[in-house]
Structure 1
Amino acid sequence: MTHSQQGRPEIVVGVVATPPDYPAQVVARLTAELADQLSERVDADVQWTVREGWGDVAPRRDGGVEALLDDCARRRKDARWDVAICLTDLPLHAERVPLVAQTSARRRVAMVSLPALGLRQLGTVRAAVPDLVSRLLTDASDERVPPAGWEPAELASRVGAISRVVGEADAGEWGYVASRLTGRVRLVTGMVRANRPGRALLGLSKLLVGAFGTAAVALTTSTIWQMGDALGGLRLTVVMLLGLTALVAWLIVAHDLWEKPDRETSAELARLFNLGTVLTLALATAVSYLVLFAGTVLAAALLIDTSVLEQTLQRTVHVTDYLILAWIISSLATVGGAIGSGLEDEDTVRAAAYGYHPEPGGWRDEKNA
């Protein structure tokens, strides 16, 4: 039993990010305030010391949650932490429903799957982790803190992502799972959130530049003006959707972003990874399209005089005509932008793949420490 200089017992809580990519950002923000939360919600007579660390860049997929718990337990023993919490962006399942969290009193570790928390991940982690630490210490019969005054099932009432609890009471192995329907929706949206679409959007800057170049050329072509005037709203919508779909498909194929099932990745996990990748790219390209559309509208208003457009269309021109013109040009320019995407840095584009995690700076020093 470790005691602090003030005579209070000290409990060291380790928080591990696996992989050290997006989960590391959540860990950094959590550890800054976790000691105060534990003092307030678990026991104020304990000196809480919080340590943060990195897990594997490529966590084992074949072993599921048990492999993560084993890896975290080894890290806890090596670092001499009392308990450890692992935050991961891997989508996990238990009893065919999304797994939100898992505690193991035997290992003295717990795991939280960030995607299963949906969009509000940091807030939910702040609410759940102190309770998970309290549950771990109670199930491990740690006498430095009073037993938790609540049953594991009560955590579902405090964390909206949790629907029910499964596990073995005698062994202190508890799994906190989501609902079958809303839990899957929350898992998918959480995967997109964890995949950081903003990073993918910034990574496609050259694509957007190429699309603007194509749009600028198209603006000077009167045939495009007439084509936009002839097409109805339905066909313009179809052209837009086809352009965006072709762009997403090109990015996936050209940069090998498609996850294939193998010995370490199950077919179900590969499907989830691919779904996360497709949705991330779809969201990033949709935002790029809106930026392109707004820029094209502005350029058309500045460069194309109303009288010139009226002479070409043989009728009175309204604001909607400029919007339609920008609509068709933006749709066609996304195809030209796909050519520009081939000039993107490979690592920048591959960051949109859900299963891809580059080694962060300092990883080797941390690993060898």
Structure 2
Amino acid sequence: MTDSERHREEIVVGLVATPPDYPARVTARLTAELAGQLGERVDPGVRWIVREGWGEVAPRRDGGVEALLDDLASRRAEDRWDVAICLTDLPLHTARVPLVAHASARRRAAVVSLPALGLSQLRGARAIVPDLVGRLLTDVRDERVPAAGWAPAELARRVAVIRRVVGAGNDGEQGYVASRLIGRVRLLIGMVRANRPGRALLGLSKLLVGAFGTAAFALTTSTIWQLGDALGGLRLTVIMVLGLAALVAWLIVAHDLWEKPDRLTPAELARMFNLGTILTLTLATAVSYAALFVGTVFAAALLIDTSVLERALQRPADVTDYLTLAWIISSLATVGGAIGSGLENEETVRAAAYGYHPEPAGWRDETDG
């Protein structure tokens, strides 16, 4: 370290992830590059130190953003950070409009709701966090950095998901909100992204194996061939949708994934959690269905000779008949696979529930030894 670097002012920025699951992954990526971004966008003359962690900041449901900010302020004071930013997967709202971020100069802290950023959450966090740090230091009149040369409303132009600023008065409490309609759609998409549907898909491996076993048995039954030929596209579509819906419902009921409102979980938040769970499971089961369908097509083509299929259908057969056969068998096997889902590991399946996070070991900081 050179003499000039030793004498530069230091500003410590704390990045907190809550819960320590998906938000921690985003925080880890952001921590590695935030110091450089702050040097470029806030002040190159300061030595920026970025700390990451979790622990004392729990995913508070009862008080929304205010409870999170209070926890974050306590954590900032305890660890002697200059400012603190919390990245959370909680879907936050203000006046029934999705809240993207909230900055509190009084607390020297800000919260960013990752789901409100939509699909590109890491890119959105890269855009918003340096500006929030600069804004907080300006609002508390920290003399170590020059005042931010832009108004709070300009952040809406830097981050596409932000539509307007609320509460941007002299008290330093500023909320950045999304649009009412598009913002809600983006929030739901972001919740599915934060819930990591790929993890739910891997968690349903026994279900998929069970469905393949059911499909293999059904392939040997000529009655199924004739039934698929007799049903039209509309009926097959209805059977498919009902099969997927039944599977999602069975997973939610069998593994108790439904979030119920209580003292710590407001009704609106419980509805958002449940919708996130349903969308995650729907996406995971749809991908499983697609894999089952493709596998059944190949199995049918391998096991069922065209001449045998033609005798059963009493007419010439072509590739569409194999696709139709795979379609009805996949739909029926999906329902059969629901029985196998009851054999899945409870923790693995419950990971698909949006409001569920493992505890208590997961709440410790990586630096806690």
Partner residue, 2:337: 337
Matching residue of 1:43? 43
- 8 Å contact kept, 1:21–1:357: yes
The 8 Å contact of residues 57 and 357 in structure 1, kept in 2 or not, is answered as no
Query: Using the alignment, how far apart are the partners of 1:67 and 1:14 within structure 2?
Result: 18
Q: How does 1:338-353 map to 2 (within 5 A)?
A: 338-353=338-353
> 2:315 is paired with a residue of what secondary structure?
coil
- For residues 273-314 of structure 1, the C-alpha deviation after alignment (integer angstroms, 9 at most, x for no partner) is 000000000000000000000000000000000010001100
Please say if residues 58 and 357 of structure 1, whose CA atoms lie closer than 8 Å, have aligned partners that are also in contact: no
Pair 1:122-2:122 in alignment:
yes
Residue type of the partner of 2:82? D
Q: CA deviation at 1:4?
A: 8.6
Which letter does structure 2 place at the counterpart of 1:68?
Answer: L
2:281 corresponds to 1:261: no
The two structures have a TM-score, normalised by structure 1, of 0.97
Contact 2:152 2:168 in 1 (8 A): no
Q: Which residue of 1 aligns with 2:358?
A: 358
CA spacing shift, 1:368–1:34, aligned 2, 3 Å: closer
How many residues of Structure 1 are paired with residues of Structure 2 in the alignment?
367
CA contact 2:100–2:116 (8 Å) conserved in 1: yes
Any gaps of 5 or more consecutive residues in structure 1?
Answer: none
Corresponding residue for residue 19 of structure 2: 19
Distance apart, 1:362 and its partner CA: 6.0
> Which secondary structure does the structure 1 equivalent of 2:6 belong to?
coil
Q: Percent of pairs identical after alignment?
A: 80
Secondary structure of the 1:169 match is coil
Distance 1:322 1:312 in 2: 13
C-alpha contact 1:62 1:266 (8 A) present in aligned 2? yes
Question: Structure 1 residues 67, 344: CA separation in 2 closer, same or farther (over 3 Å shift)?
Answer: same
The question of 1:165 aligning with 2:165 is answered yes
Q: Deviations over 1:224-263 (max 9, x none)?
A: 0000000000000000000000000000000000000101
Report the CA distance between 1:363 and its aligned residue: 3.7
Query: 8 Å contact 2:243–2:335 — kept in the other structure?
Result: yes
Cα distance between partner residues in 2 of 1:285 and 1:201: 7
Equivalent residue number for residue 83 of structure 1 = 83
- Whether the 8 Å contact between 2:82 and 2:108 is mirrored in structure 1 is yes
Shift of 1:28: 0.4
Answer with 322-331 or 160-169: which moved more: 160-169
> Is the CA contact 2:13–2:50 (under 8 Å) kept in the aligned structure 1?
yes
Report the Cα offset of residue 347 of structure 1. Answer: 0.5
For 1:155-234, list aligned pairs within 5 A.
155-234=155-234
1:103–1:174: 8 Å Cα contact kept in structure 2?
A: yes
What is the RMSD of the two structures over their aligned residues, measured on CA atoms?
1.5
Deviation for aligned residue 1:94: 1.0
Please give the alpha-carbon distance, in whole angstroms, between the structure 2 residues aligned to 1:55 and 1:364: 5
Q: Which runs of 5+ in 2 are unaligned?
A: none
SS of structure 1 residue aligned to 2:295:
helix
Q: CA deviation at 1:55?
A: 4.0
Q: In the aligned structure 2, how far is the partner of 1:14 from the partner of 1:57?
A: 12
The answer to whether 1:63 aligns with 2:63 is yes
Rounded Cα–Cα distance in structure 2 between residues aligned with 1:76 and 1:355: 26
CA distance in 2 between partners of 1:240 and 1:277 (Å):
20
Distance 1:47 1:58 in 2: 30
How far did 1:361 drift? 5.8
String of CA shifts for 1:181-233, please: whole Å, max 9, x gaps: 11111111111111111110011000000000000000000000000000000
After superposition, the Cα gap between the structure-2 partners of 1:159 and 1:55, relative to the gap in structure 1 and judged at 3 Å, is farther
Tell me which residue corresponds to 1:132.
Answer: 132
Instruction: Find runs of 4+ consecutive structure 1 residues off by over 6 angstroms.
Output: none
Letter in 2 for 1:66: E
Match of 1:323 in 2: 323
Distance 1:307 1:56, change over 3 A: farther
**What is the CA-CA distance between 1:359 and the residue it aligns to?**
3.1
SS in 1 for 2:161: coil
Q: Are residues 1:290 and 2:290 paired?
A: yes
- Give the CA deviation at 1:365: 6.4
CA separation in 1, counterparts of 2:348 and 2:81? 36
Secondary structure at the counterpart of residue 75 of structure 2 = helix
Letter of the aligned partner of 2:337 in structure 1?
G
Does the C-alpha gap of structure 1 residues 67 and 213 become closer, same or farther in structure 2, counting only changes over 3 Å? same
